[in-house]
Amino acid sequence: MENKFLKKAILTFLAATTIGLSGCSDVEAKLPEAKQDEPILNVENITNNNLQQIYEALVTAGDTNSEKVLDNILYIYAKSLFGSLYDTLNEDGTVKEEGLLSIESDDTKIANFIKTHTIYETVENCKVFIAHLKDSILNSFYSVVTNSSYQKRSVFKEEKFFVAQTAELFNLNRPTSFVEKALDGEKTYKDAEEYFTNLYVTYQDYIERSLLPTAYRKALVEQYLLDNNYGALGRSYARKVQYIALPDIENKDGAALRLVRAYAEVVLSKTDEELKANGASESKIATYRDLHFLDKLYKGYFEEAEEKTFADKIYKLAGFKAFDAKVDTIATYEETSYGKVAIDYNNLTNDRNKTGSTTDFTSSGAYTKEIGLDIKTKEINATTKVTQGWYTSSGLSDLASSIKTRLFKISVANEVDVLEANKHGNFGWNVNGSYYMVPETYESNEKYPYCMYDKDSKTWYIVKVEEAVKAPKLSIDSDQNYTAMGKSIRDIALNVASLLSDTDSYKKAARQYYVEKMALSYHDQEVYNYFKTTFPDLFD
């Protein structure tokens, strides 16, 4: 049954687990006592010879199970290549090998680690992998934060998630208190840890059993691309972007246009020194240049004094109409999202028979109008109209097609890194060190063509391109590569590989590559048949 390629390792039915059975005692498999104490399996006089029967009773044979075997084997193999995220322990609880989390900030430990995990080759490559793996985990946890199942009135409640995963039999480390934190549209997956108590400790079992198997198998595909199809990365035309999409403001003709252009004039078009001269502190300059600040201007809710003062200058230039704080509402502007809510709230009466009753804010008397205002305010602050990250042309489905088509042209990759400050290209402008897309045609005297309007969606866009990949930039030997630009070529290559790793053809090629590399021996007909069908090229 074996073939000439696959002879080294033994692939058993149980793949990633080992079951030891003693001679002649009862065997009971139970759920944890705290959850349910009824046995799910109670068989007397079990011997080692019955292992096959037990397995067949619990697991259905066929392709589905065989694929799980493959997944488990690939996960084990990936951990042997990259090392475990957490410490590997001996039976007595002592550390056998420190994991990636334990060594990430110590170059000496990393240097020793890569002696046995030679896939990294350099300390820097190992650091990039650790950051990449943690990003994968944080992305997963941030999707939990934005999942309404674990929220109440736009407030994430960690305990809801903790209880749900405990019910799924994850062995979690219960913290002394749980985080309750309002969602914030300015946050990204990078901020996921703010919503959890000691994330990597509390949720270790969940991370190890629910997230890491998929993350490590994905890492294998990424590594396959780096080692065997590196050219595909350069041909991907991948883009790292941050863009904002602001719809026209209802019943406020031209308000969105004025706001976007005022932001461009007060912030984007100004140098750092000019921003400071206009009242921006050194620590806030990056905040104002980030498009999340324009998103915040659109929403209109500012509690921090410096940001509010600076925002007022933009609102004034945009011609927005201010109104003062009231008993329950803060000062804002009529044209903003919060402004509309505040106006409605301030016009309320407690008489349900009069126009402007509290119904909208009380859910028909379910709670007070003050609570209703708080709910609506949190809903506004939880939203964002900013999109950011790495994408290929198959992504960004919400971006206006006319802009998206131009974004993935090779000319963007040519312009983004070579335009000098405040120079104008055919596809984008460099404005104070950042590259912004411009439309194909615009008036010759247009000061801010990067404030783009899509008539079909009636939406205003600003699209900042942070990276635009092309082959020479990723070439190790090129004098025009990312290293020459002072950037991490490994980090960018791994991000691009991550985009491509979900492609079925690359996933299949990578699995076949590593199955052949592992040289497996088969001890089950169903598993053998599955592997032979899935990877026919490995079998004669």
Over residues 215-259, the pLDDT tens digits come to 999 999 999 999 999 999 999 999 999 999 999 999 899 999 999
Confidence category of residue 30, pLDDT binned at 50, 70, 90: very low
Of the pLDDT bands very low, low, confident and very high (cuts 50, 70, 90), residue 358 is low
Over 80: is that where the pLDDT of 178 sits?
Answer: yes
Mean pLDDT calculated for residue range 311-334: 95
Average pLDDT, the chain: 87
What length does the chain have? 540
62: how many CB neighbours lie within 10 A of its CB? Answer: 11
Beta bridge partners of 429: 424, 436
Counting DSSP H helices and E strands in the chain, the numbers are 24, 17
pLDDT in tens, 181-221: 999 999 999 999 999 999 999 999 999 999 999 999 999 99
* pLDDT-derived band at 17, boundaries 50, 70, 90: very low
Q: Which of 352 and 167 is assigned the larger pLDDT?
A: 167
pLDDT of residue 525: 66
Structural tokens at position 367: 């709670």
Question: Mean pLDDT across the stretch 80-104?
Answer: 95
Q: What is the pLDDT of residues 44-69, one digit of tens each?
A: 544 444 445 544 444 455 556 767 88
What's the confidence (pLDDT) of residue 51? 47
Of 22-26, 107-111, 144-148, 348-352, give the lowest mean pLDDT range. Answer: 22-26
Cα gap 471→416, rounded to integer Å: 14
- Token representation of residue 359: 């119904």
pLDDT at position 422 is 79
Q: What is the tens place of the pLDDT at every residue in 409-436?
A: 999 999 998 877 779 999 999 999 999 9
Weakest mean pLDDT among 298-307, 350-359, 496-505? 350-359
Q: pLDDT tens digits for 509-530?
A: 999 898 888 766 656 666 667 6
Alpha carbons 494 and 329: distance in angstroms, whole number: 47
pTM of this prediction?
A: 0.85
DSSP label at 71?
H
Neighbours of 74 (CB within 10 A): 21
pLDDT of residue 522: 56
DSSP helix/strand/coil, 349: coil
354, burial (CB in 10 Å: exposed 0-12, middle 13-18, buried 19+): exposed
Q: For residue range 254-276, what is the model confidence (pLDDT) as tens digits?
A: 999 999 999 999 999 999 999 99
How would you class 479 by CB atoms within 10 Å of its CB: exposed for 0-12, middle for 13-18, buried for 19 or more?
A: exposed
For 475-513, the pLDDT digits (tens) are 998 888 999 999 999 999 999 999 999 999 999 999 989
